[in-house]
């Protein structure tokens, strides 16, 4: 399974390359005009597989890869992952011809209550067991690889037994999944734990990266919040460059923005800056959609 | 407005749940300590029960505040006039109404705030119109998900 996953990682690197963006209906027009856009993510729970939004379908027709990104599977929930949610994710992948799908190392509900956001897991053997079982159940229904994203969290569990890189390495090895590494999440957690973000990156299983996330955030009351509604800070951009310097080839990288959308030119400039920092040369600002650069 | 890609009041595309009969068994006993700890944590974060042992209380406070801000942002998409009428006071007002109360989804979250402001006589005309519009389209009892009004009814909605 691990050998197959390694081969899978290489294939994914071929399928998913260059720069992408999280597709959201509010910015569909800006996304459609981004220069050298190679892939986008859609929130799986917001996607109706039989009727994908027109903007997404048009990108797909242009050859832009579409990756369904689950946010409510609750793979780390102590209860078994809900079968209907897995079926939905698989249907999304089939509907958009996705090269892979992604979800989080997280749980979002327990005891009959929805948390409303991604919550951290205790990094324990017990949680590894729960995650492994849920991930395997999900993989059993998927025809494409699954990438897992470590989240940004404002707190840790008192029962933690592993560091985050060790926990993830063990999880990916057990399940044969790929890594969706959110550079901004690493920054957020390092700041909030008082750690050196670069040292954390260096210990991450970078050989399993399917793609990277980048997003903005801001500090509030001494804590860094991964808001997705602020610009990408310089420190996160620098951490991206450090991450890329530790990888053998420029990885696929994607910008996430989830509200307080800036003017089109600003979003386009941020997308271009992220692409360049990850080693993907961008055409000069021309506004023409569908331009391609050699990978 | 997210109506073009999500018509559900919870903001989530309707996923048919409840077909678990064929799902493999053998999962860990749901009464394990992890299940209990997760339930305790989520309850503390969304219903205001006491924090589970061992966690940093200040960090859980920050998480509760962040969850409420996120809910406020999602509710604002369903209630643009209401949110705009409060400007920078939207998130704090939202938190006052909803702290310690689990969400029924962004539509209901905003609806509760609109009614609270109406009861205090603080709705602007635009926000009042938005509330009237919602009340005419759906019946919401403040406890369960909104549903269509029963029986014949004149529609005043703008859709």
- Domain range summary for chain B, segments of one domain joined by +: 33-148
CATH assignment of the domain containing A268: 3.20.20.150
| The pLDDT value given to residue A154 | 98
Task: Give, as one character, the DSSP assignment of residue A112.
Answer: T
A32 domain-assigned? yes
Interface predicted TM-score (ipTM): 0.91
Tally C-beta pairs within 8 A across A and B: 125
Collapsed DSSP state (helix, strand, coil) of residue A286:
coil
| The pLDDT value given to residue B15 | 46
How many Å separate Cα A22 from the centre of its chain? 9
Q: Do the strands A113-119 and A107-110 form a parallel or antiparallel pair, or are they unpaired?
A: antiparallel
| The pLDDT value given to residue A283 | 72
Q: B153 vs chain A: nearest CA distance in angstroms?
A: 31
* Structure confidence by residue, pLDDT tens digits, A37-51: 999 999 999 999 999
Residues 6 or more apart whose CB falls under 8 angstroms from that of A249 comprise: A13, A279
A286 domain-assigned? no
Q: Is residue A148 a contact partner of residue A179, using CB atoms and an 8 Å limit?
A: yes
Residue A286 has pLDDT above 70, yes or no: no
* Structure confidence by residue, pLDDT tens digits, A204-261: 999 999 999 999 999 999 999 999 999 999 999 999 999 999 999 999 999 999 988 9
A291 domain-assigned? no
CA distance linking residue A85 with residue A97, whole number of Å: 18
Residue the block writes with tokens 């589970």: B52
Report chain A's mean pLDDT, rounded to a whole number.
92
Radius of gyration (C-alpha) of chain A in whole angstroms: 18
| The pLDDT value given to residue B1 | 35
Q: Which residues of A touch B55 (CB under 8 A)?
A: 155, 157-158
* Structure confidence by residue, pLDDT tens digits, B1-34: 333 333 344 445 444 444 333 344 444 444 458 9
- Indicate the residue of A77, A154, A158 with minimum beta-carbon distance to B38: A77
Tokens linked to B88: 């920078």
Tokens linked to B68: 């409420």
Q: B37 vs chain A: nearest CA distance in angstroms?
A: 9
A184 domain-assigned? yes
Tokens linked to B48: 């205001």
| The pLDDT value given to residue A282 | 77
| The pLDDT value given to residue B150 | 82
Q: Is residue A110 a contact partner of residue B42, using CB atoms and an 8 Å limit?
A: yes
Determine which of B3, B4, B5, B71 to mutate to test the interface with A (most A C-beta atoms within 10 Å): B5
> How many Cα neighbours within 13 Å face the side chain of A159?
14
Q: Which of residues 248 through 287 in chain A touch B, CB cutoff 8 A?
A: 259
Contact yes or no for A126 and B34 at CB 8 A: yes
Asked if A47 has any chain B CB less than 8 Å from its own CB, the reply is yes
Cα A225-A152-A258 angle, rounded to 5 deg? 65
Q: Provide the domain limits for residue A230.
A: 2-277
Asked if A119 has any chain B CB less than 8 Å from its own CB, the reply is yes
A289 domain-assigned? no
| The pLDDT value given to residue A281 | 86
| Percentage of chain A modeled with pLDDT above 90 | 89
| The pLDDT value given to residue A289 | 44
Count of domains observed in chain A:
1
Average pLDDT over residues B66-75: 95
Q: Is residue A291 a contact partner of residue A36, using CB atoms and an 8 Å limit?
A: yes
Determine which of A111, A194, A218 to mutate to test the interface with B (most B C-beta atoms within 10 Å): A111
Residues 6 or more apart whose CB falls under 8 angstroms from that of B6 comprise: A46, B12, B13
* Structure confidence by residue, pLDDT tens digits, A140-160: 999 999 999 999 999 999 999
| The pLDDT value given to residue A191 | 98
**Torsion, Cα of A218, A282, A20, B8 (10° steps):** 80
How many Å separate Cα A9 from the centre of its chain? 15
The band of B41, judged by pLDDT with boundaries at 50, 70 and 90, is: very high
Q: A280 vs chain B: nearest CA distance in angstroms?
A: 31
Residues 6 or more apart whose CB falls under 8 angstroms from that of A287 comprise: A33, A35
Cα A277-A278-A279 angle, rounded to 5 deg? 90
* Structure confidence by residue, pLDDT tens digits, B88-99: 999 999 999 999
Among positive and negative, which fits the CA dihedral A144, A272, A63, A42?
A: positive
Listing DSSP states for A125-171 in one string gives: HHHHHHHHHHHHHHHHH-SS-EEEEEPP-S---TT--S-HHHHHHHH
Residue the block writes with tokens 């919870």: B10
Terminal Cα distance for chain A, rounded = 29
Report chain B's mean pLDDT, rounded to a whole number.
82
Residue A32 to residues A64, A248, B111, Cα–Cα distance (Å): 10, 30, 34
């Amino acid at each position: 399974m691990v050998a197959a996953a390694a081969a899978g990682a290489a294939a994914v690197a071929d399928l998913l390359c260059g720069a992408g963006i999280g597709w959201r209906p509010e910015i569909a027009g800006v996304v459609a005009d981004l220069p050298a856009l190679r892939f986008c993510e859609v929130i799986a729970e917001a996607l109706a597989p039989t009727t994908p939004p027109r903007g997404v379908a048009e990108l797909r027709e242009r050859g832009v890869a579409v990756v369904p990104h689950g946010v409510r599977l609750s793979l780390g929930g102590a209860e078994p992952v809900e079968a209907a949610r897995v079926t939905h994710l698989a249907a999304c992948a089939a509907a958009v011809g996705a090269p892979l799908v992604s979800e989080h190392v997280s749980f979002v509900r327990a005891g009959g209550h929805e948390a409303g956001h991604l919550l951290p897991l205790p990094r324990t053997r017990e949680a590894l067991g729960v995650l492994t079982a849920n991930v395997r159940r999900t993989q059993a229904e998927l025809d494409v690889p699954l990438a897992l994203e470590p989240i940004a969290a404002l707190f840790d569990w008192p029962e933690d037994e592993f560091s985050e890189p060790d926990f993830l390495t063990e999880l990916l090895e057990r399940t044969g999944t790929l890594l969706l590494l959110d550079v901004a999440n690493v920054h957020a957690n390092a700041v909030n734990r008082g750690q050196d973000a670069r040292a954390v990156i260096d210990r991450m299983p970078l050989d399993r990266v399917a793609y990277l996330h980048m997003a903005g955030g801001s500090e509030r009351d001494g804590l860094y919040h991964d808001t997705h509604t602020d610009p990408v800070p310089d420190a996160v951009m620098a951490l991206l460059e450090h991450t890329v310097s530790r990888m053998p080839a420029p990885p696929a990288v994607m910008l996430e923005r989830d509200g307080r959308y800036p003017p089109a030119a600003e979003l386009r400039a941020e997308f271009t800056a992220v692409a360049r920092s990850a080693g993907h040369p961008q055409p000069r600002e021309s506004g023409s959609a569908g331009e391609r650069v050699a990978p | 407005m997210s109506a073009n890609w999500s018509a559900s009041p919870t903001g989530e595309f309707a996923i048919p749940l409840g077909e678990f009969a064929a799902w493999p068994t053998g999962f860990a006993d749901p009464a394990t300590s992890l299940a209990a700890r997760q339930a305790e944590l989520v309850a503390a974060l969304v219903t205001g029960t006491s924090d589970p042992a061992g966690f940093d209380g200040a960090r859980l406070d920050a998480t509760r505040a962040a969850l409420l801000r996120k809910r406020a942002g999602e509710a604002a998409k369903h209630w643009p006039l209401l949110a705009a009428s409060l400007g920078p006071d939207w998130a704090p007002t939202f938190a006052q109404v909803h702290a310690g109360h689990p969400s029924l989804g962004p539509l209901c979250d905003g609806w509760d705030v609109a009614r609270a402001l109406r009861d205090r006589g603080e709705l602007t005309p635009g926000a009042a119109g938005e509330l009237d519009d919602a009340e005419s389209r759906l019946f919401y009892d403040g406890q369960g998900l909104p549903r269509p009004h029963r029986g014949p009814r004149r529609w005043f909605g703008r859709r």
